[in-house]
Amino acid sequence: MRAVGYHELTYDAVAARARTSRTVLYRRWPHRRDLVLAALRHQAPPLPPPVPDTGSLRTDLLSQLRQVSTRTTELVPILQVIGDGRANDSDLTSYLHDRVSQAGKPEMDAMLERAVLRSELDEARLPARVAMLPFALVAAETLLRQRPLSEDALAEIVDQVVLPLIAHHGQTRR
């Protein structure tokens, strides 16, 4: 798929490369989208990465966002194929949407709950968009740069964006 794109991908080409027959492929993946989705699921890194517990909210966030940046870099080749516009309104775009629609929310909730237990915060709730923002920001910047973000960039995001947002929503210890 990387070589030709989604719409030019054929069962004949995949069968030849896999040294099998079209029939074998059709039996398992009756539609091209099923075949491509199976390949994406196999190649894409598992999401989400494990939620770190470093002992403080700031270092938890830095660790988590570092993992997100690294794993997003691994998705660049897949996204380039899909992002060429030829797969729009397909199951491929639905697959990606499903992977990222709540990206970061459960992880942020877990980190905030631990911060409450450590008495770093008064409560552990953020609006969903606010909770997902650092993950979206890191993923977007990583995709643009096509390499993991530097430690300085991650610290800037945590210190200048995430922690002030949490404080704005009244969760910091007074």
Does pLDDT of 56 surpass 70?
A: yes
Query: What pLDDT shows up at residue 34?
Result: 80
> What percent of the chain has pLDDT above 70?
74
Domains and CATH numbers, the chain: 44-168 (1.10.357)
pLDDT tens, residue by residue, 20-36: 999 999 999 988 778 87
Q: CA end-to-end span of the chain, whole Å? A: 54
Query: What pLDDT shows up at residue 172?
Result: 55
CB-CB contact of 149 with 137 (8 Å) = no
pLDDT tens, residue by residue, 93-140: 666 666 666 678 888 888 989 998 998 888 767 788 888 889 889 988
Query: What pLDDT shows up at residue 65?
Result: 93
Structure tokens at 22: 């079209």
Provide the pLDDT confidence category of residue 171 given band limits of 50, 70 and 90. Answer: low
Q: How many CB atoms lie within 10 A of CB 51?
A: 17
Arithmetic mean of pLDDT, 149-171: 91
CB-CB contact of 74 with 148 (8 Å) = no
Closest CA to 136 of 116, 171, 161, 166: 161
Closest CA to 42 of 70, 9, 74, 84: 74
Cα angle 78, 81, 83; round to 5: 100
Does pLDDT of 69 surpass 60?
A: yes
Average pLDDT, rounded, for the chain:
81
Does pLDDT of 47 surpass 60?
A: no
Choice between 33 and 67, residue whose per-residue pLDDT is larger? 67
Is the preceding peptide bond at 48 cis, omega within 30 degrees of 0? yes
